[in-house]
Structure 1
Amino acid sequence: MTAPDPGLAAVLSLADSRFPGGGHAHSGGVEEAVARGLVTDTTTLAAFLRGRLRTAGALAAAFTAAAAHTARHGGDRWRDLDAELDARTPSPAQRAASRAQGRGLVRAGRLAWPAPVFDDLLAATPAPHHPIALGALAGIAGAGAHHAALAAAYLSISGPASACVRLLGLDPFEANAAVTALSADLDRIAATAAGTRDRPPADLPAPGAPALDLFAEAHDRTHRLEVRLFAS
């Protein structure tokens, strides 16, 4: 009989939309895409999710895997991981959103899985980026880099899909089907991310998504003047 993964239940909790990490307040760029008429139905949502997974999702998965590996095996990489992810996030609005979600995760995670690793993480970066906080929590709970990366990749598309249901009134079953259709991509991206878990932070992957950067900046400017459903 295969020994159970002690961190798998924690990863499932972290990937659950009910985990109080603040992710429900962010659309991952889909609100701006809807406002511009680029996402109008489940077909265009599926294309948006595919692109987001292969760019922002792959980036988040790589840094989450590295953070989980650091939390489990020790090391003084938190400041470097945070700085390198910051450098890979050109949009100030996206950086702010990522750190806001990271703070939410840390607040919830410290109660769920108290550990000294949190002190090291917060000493290095008081407001960690979301993927780094996610990886730290997963690693503290005993999850390996692959499961941590899979959670990050999944969250990169499940949140926008859920947001789009609210924004456009889409059939939630069809929106969920658009997420599950990317299962093979999720597995591949998580496996690739796990394979880079022990690289120096400067050598981690750096996929870019200029459209998402532009959406984030436009959304940030607009929501100061208009009522929007999501913070980002």
Structure 2
Amino acid sequence: MSALAELLMLTDSRLPTGGHVHSGGVEEAITSGLVTDLATLDAYLCRRIRSTGLVSASIAAAVHRGDLSVAAADAEADAHTPAPTARLASRAQGRGLLRLARRVWPESGWDSLGARPHLAVVAGRVGEVAGLAPEMTALSTVYTTMTGTATAAQRLLALDPGDVAALMFGLAGLCQDTADLAATGIADLSDPLLDELAERHATRDRPLFAS
């Protein structure tokens, strides 16, 4: 299978990794009145790409290159995800991707990742096993950071799918630039607003999404 085909499969929203039950904080942003339409969704996605997307992609690329051990990468992901709820969401999605990876590449030594690794850690290892370049692993991580949140917002706000797709096409350049930056080394930042939204969401009564 070609690396491009593998990349397309890894970024497919139908991939059964559990990502469809996570909104990347946008459910709470909508409930709080911060995201109300396409314009505010665009701003939210840009913020998420530049923060969560960049950090996750930088860790994934470092794991892919072998610059970080699994333990060191897991510690980096914890350190850059201050909100406990966001850490739980990352580990839940990491476990989902790990479960799939075991089925697709059963002989690739997945036990070394532990039982509940962060999503970025698994993504880095999957990119390596799939034969992608580290830059492609970074790009797939950034892209899925955007698309999962955009899809959740589309459902919650009953937005026109064509409008949301056009919005994401408009962010393609930002995704590529962010992935290029992520591939150069570990990004050292977090976003207090996204952390606050994650913690606030955890206390909400009967949310539709897990995060």
TM-score range, shorter chain: over 0.9
Q: Identify the residue that residue 190 of structure 2 maps to in structure 1.
A: 208
- Superposed CA offset, 1:186-224 (max 9, x none): 11111111222xxxxxxx2122110000000000111xx
Q: 2: distance between equivalents of 1:83 and 1:64? A: 13
Residue identity matched to 1:172? P
State percent identity of aligned pairs.
43
Shift of 1:119: 2.4
* Equivalent pair of 1:115/1:140 in contact (CA under 8 Å): no
Deviating beyond 6 angstroms after TM superposition, the runs of 4 or more aligned structure 1 residues are none
* 1:50-89 pair list within 5 angstroms: 50-70=46-66, 77-89=69-81
Cα pair distance change 1:173/1:142, threshold 3 Å: same
1:115 aligned residue: 107
Task: State the alpha-carbon separation in 2 of the partners of residues 11 and 92 from structure 1.
Answer: 30
| Residues 62 and 68 in structure 2, CA contact (< 8 A), matched pair in contact too | no
Query: What do you get for the CA RMSD once the two structures are aligned?
Result: 1.4
| 2:154 paired residue number | 165
Find the residue that maps to 1:57 and give its secondary structure: helix
**Which structure 2 residues correspond to residues 54-203 of structure 1 after superposition, within 5 A?**
54-70=50-66, 77-122=69-114, 126-196=115-185
Structure 1: gaps (5+ residues) = 197-203
- 1:76, CA displacement in angstroms? 6.9
In structure 2, what is the Cα distance between the partners aligned to 1:41 and 1:107?
Answer: 35
CA distance in 1, matches of 2:174, 2:108: 35
- Amino acid of the structure 2 residue aligned with 1:228: P
**1:115 shift after superposition:** 3.1
**2:49, 2:142 within 8 Å by CA — same for their partners in 1?**
yes
The count of aligned residue pairs is 211
Contact 2:94 2:121 (C-alpha < 8 Å) held by counterparts: yes
Contact 1:7/1:138 (<8 A) preserved: no
**TM-score relative to the length of structure 1:** 0.87
Is 2:23 aligned against 1:41? no
Quick one: structure 1 residues 107 and 174, their matched pair in 2 at CA, closer, same or farther if it must change by over 3 Å?
A: same
Structure possessing the higher radius of gyration over alpha carbons: 1
One-letter amino acid of the counterpart of residue 84, structure 2: P
- The answer to whether the 8 A contact 2:59-2:76 is kept is no
Which of 15, 20, 25 is equivalent to 1:19?
15
Q: The residue matched to 2:203 in structure 1 has which SS?
A: helix
Conservation of the 8 A alpha-carbon contact between 1:11 and 1:147: yes
**Is there any run of 5+ residues in structure 2 with no aligned partner, and where?**
none
TM-score, length basis structure 2: 0.96
Does the 8 Å contact 1:64/1:149 carry over to 2? Answer: yes
